[in-house]
Each structure stands twice: as C-alpha cells, then as structure tokens.
C-alpha cells in the first residue's frame, strides 16, 4: 500500500499540522506548541475535515495537559475543562470535535477515579490521543474496504469537497478512502472532483491528494455535475460527512445537497462514507445540526483577489444537510448501513 498522507501528528515539540491553507502550491508544516495554537489551527482551517478536527482536538487536550505547570489533579481538571471549552468553540458542525473532547474528558475522569497522579494523567491523555488517531486511521481502512466493494471496475466517481486523507487522521480518508479501497481491490477508478466553492477544498486538496496517489482525477466547477451526470459519465457519488443525525440526514460541505438531488434524478447511487465518530445519535434529525456560517471574504475574494462589488450582501453557509431519502447507503467502519437509518445506524453502535 503506497498511501501515506497524514495531516496531523504528535511530536515532542508539539502538534505538527500540514498547513492545508497553502496547498497545493506549498507543503509547509507548522509546529503548534500550545492548546490555543491548536484551537486556532482548527478555527483558521490549517487543519479541516471532521475526523482530522477530532484528532487535532484530542492532541490539543493532551498538549494542554502536558504544558500544565500546576501540581494538583483538581487544578488539572479545571485546566482541561477550560481547554475543552476553547477547543469546542472553534467550529460547530463537525461532531467529531465534540466526540473527541468528550472522550478525552472521560479518559481524564477514569484516571482521576483510579487515583492517578498529575504526571500519570498527562501520560494517559497523550496515550489516548494517539489511540484516537490510530483508531481513526483503522476506521478509514475498514471504510475503504467495505466501500470499495460497492464500486465497479471502470467506474467514474464524483466527489465533493475533500473527504480524503487530509480530512482525517490520514492514509485513506472517508470518501477518498472508498476510492482508494476500490483501487486497492484492483479496480480501475477515475474521479471527478467538484472544485467546491467558496473554499475550494476539491480543487486545492482533493485534486492534490489524488494526484499524489496516482489516481486519475478530473476537476470540474460545481455547476458542471448535472450536465456530466446527464451524459451518463458518473456511476456513483461518494462524499464524506461532518455530522450524521440519528435518522441518517447528512451534514456535509455546502453543495452536497444539490449533488444528492441530481444523483437521485439521474438514478446514480449517492454514498456517504464516515466513521461512527461522525454519527450523532443525540441529534435526531438534520434540522437540529448547527450549520457554520463563515466570513464573507471567502465568497467575495479568492486569494486576496476581489470578485464581487464592495458591500454586496453575502451569505456563506459552510455546510448543508442532505435528507436521508437521498442517501443510498452510509459506509462506516462497521459496514454498510441502509435505510431505515434510525435502526441500521443504531445497530452499528451495538455490534
């Protein structure tokens, strides 16, 4: 297996992040030495993509604990509570962020209940953050395997945004994991990548990482997919997700809903690939998923170049929700869930 993109890493010097804002023209690694820097890295999109945000938050807590200079477990608990709040305030939609923060807090509570010392707890938190990262990569490997089986030889797959190694703990990715899995199974797959305005994750990141792995990719603007589907050139759509509600409604990058409607119209399967850390059984339907709104400048400007008249009204939703009836299947590390999702997703947590 040749895949090796890992966007975030733990090191003795701090948390290392590949600065995704600069890709594809520059590959620069940042060393983040404090939890505030990790939080800023998430907020400012140095790292992005739901599972990658979760892994980064876990490292942020481990780093904050490592840097803690107090001596009592009670003070460390306060510090971790504060760090968790700072990290939780970075981005609202990707539930992996809150999942990872919760898990690290549960790990802290278990260590405290076991009577561990401050230095022991620091080590335990670091070990758990590393485990979250390893488990995420293993989940993507299984998603790749299960999802790869859904694709046929010589299929052309449309994807939206970047749900690749860059958006996860690394190596496989979710949607791109499915594609890598099919390629690994010996299938000839080519990809059509939506550029994904306004932040251009498809153009900048998906195109880059597929080219790194020698998987054929063609870039299109977001408004071309209907025409290409109508021509019969796409056999499957595969996307990732930032949060899947208990009923199978899927929040993902803005524009995903449009693609799902088009796929339905053209009888093309619409697959969602995501680890169970993206499935939020506490959110009953997509209507309750908080949708991030981002700065107007992402719409009015590209790389500092002004595209729209000064002062024009702007809406910049970062995500939308695809209703579950447009979703052919949800691929997780536990297998392929199909409608009714309220039952099939719940069952995956129980298995």
**Is the distance from CB of 335 to CB of 270 less than 8 angstroms?**
no
247 binds ligand MRU (CB under 6 A): no
Minimum distance of ligand MRU from residue 280's CB (angstroms): 13
Would you call 242 a catalytic residue per the annotation?
yes
**Is the distance from CB of 89 to CB of 203 less than 8 angstroms?**
no
Minimum distance of ligand MRU from residue 324's CB (angstroms): 17
3-state secondary structure 107-152: HHHHHHHCCCCHHHHHHHHHHHHHHHHHHHHHHHHHHHHHHHCCCC
Q: How many residues does the chain have?
A: 351
156 binds ligand MRU (CB under 6 A): no
252 binds ligand MRU (CB under 6 A): yes
**Is the distance from CB of 161 to CB of 168 less than 8 angstroms?**
no
- Work out which of 7, 14, 51, 54 binds ligand MRU, going by CB under 6 A: 51
Minimum distance of ligand MRU from residue 252's CB (angstroms): 5
Minimum distance of ligand MRU from residue 96's CB (angstroms): 8
Residue 263 phi/psi, 5-degree rounding, is -65, -45
Stretch that binds ligand MRU, among 10-18, 167-175, 206-214, 302-310 (CB under 6 A): 167-175
Stretch that binds ligand MRU, among 5-13, 97-105, 162-170, 322-330 (CB under 6 A): 162-170
Residue 290 phi/psi, 5-degree rounding, is -70, 130
**Of these residues, 128, 136, 242, 280, which one is catalytic?**
242
268 binds ligand MRU (CB under 6 A): no
- Extended beta strands in the chain, E state: 8-11, 14-18, 29-32, 156-159, 190-194, 217-220, 236-239, 243-245, 250-253, 270-273, 279-280, 301-302, 305-306, 319-322, 329-332, 335-337
Half-sphere exposure of 306 (CA within 13 A, CB side): 5
Minimum distance of ligand MRU from residue 268's CB (angstroms): 18
> In sequence order, which residues have a C-beta less than 8 Å from that of residue 226 and are 6 or more positions away?
262
- Work out which of 145, 201, 283, 344 binds ligand MRU, going by CB under 6 A: 201
Residue 336 phi/psi, 5-degree rounding, is -110, 115
90 binds ligand MRU (CB under 6 A): no
Stretch that binds ligand MRU, among 97-105, 116-124, 144-152, 240-248 (CB under 6 A): 240-248
Stretch that binds ligand MRU, among 22-30, 48-56, 57-65, 100-108 (CB under 6 A): 48-56
Residues that bind ligand MRU (CB under 6 A): 48-51, 94, 161, 163, 167-168, 174, 201, 240-242, 252-253, 318
Q: Which residues are catalytic?
A: 242
């Amino acid at each position: 297996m040749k895949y090796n993109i890992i966007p975030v890493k733990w090191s003795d010097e701090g948390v290392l992040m590949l600065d995704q804002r600069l890709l594809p023209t520059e590959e620069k690694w940042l060393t983040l030495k404090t939890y505030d820097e990790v939080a800023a890295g998430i907020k400012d999109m140095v790292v992005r993509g739901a599972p990658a945000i979760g892994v980064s938050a876990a490292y942020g807590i481990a780093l904050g604990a490592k840097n803690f200079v107090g001596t009592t477990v009670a003070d460390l608990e306060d510090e971790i509570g504060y760090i968790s709040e700072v990290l939780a305030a970075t981005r609202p939609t990707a539930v992996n962020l809150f999942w990872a923060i919760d898990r690290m807090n549960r790990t802290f509570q278990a260590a405290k209940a076991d009577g561990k010392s401050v230095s022991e707890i620091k080590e335990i938190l670091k070990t758990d953050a590393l485990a979250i990262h390893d488990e995420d990569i293993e989940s993507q490997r299984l998603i790749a395997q299960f999802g790869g089986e859904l694709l046929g030889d010589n299929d052309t797959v449309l994807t939206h945004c970047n749900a690749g190694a860059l958006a996860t703990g690394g190596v496989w990715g979710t949607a791109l994991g499915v594609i890598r899995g099919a390629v690994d199974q010996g299938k000839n797959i080519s990809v059509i990548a939506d550029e994904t305005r306004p932040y251009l994750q498809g153009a900048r990141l998906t195109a880059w990482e597929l080219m790194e792995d020698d998987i054929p990719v063609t870039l299109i603007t977001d408004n071309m997919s209907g025409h290409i589907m109508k021509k019969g050139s796409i056999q499957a759509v595969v996307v990732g997700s930032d949060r899947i509600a208990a009923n199978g409604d899927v929040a993902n990058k803005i524009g995903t809903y449009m693609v799902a409607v088009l796929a339905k119209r053209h009888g093309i399967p619409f697959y969602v690939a995501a680890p169970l850390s993206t499935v939020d059984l506490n959110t009953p339907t997509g209507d309750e998923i908080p949708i991030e709104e981002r700065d107007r400048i992402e719409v009015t400007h590209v790389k500092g170049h002004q595209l729209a008249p000064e002062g024009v009204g702007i809406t910049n939703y970062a995500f939308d929700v695809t209703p579950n009836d447009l979703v052919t299947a949800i691929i997780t590390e536990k297998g392929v869930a199909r409608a009714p999702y309220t039952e099939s997703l719940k069952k995956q947590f129980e298995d």
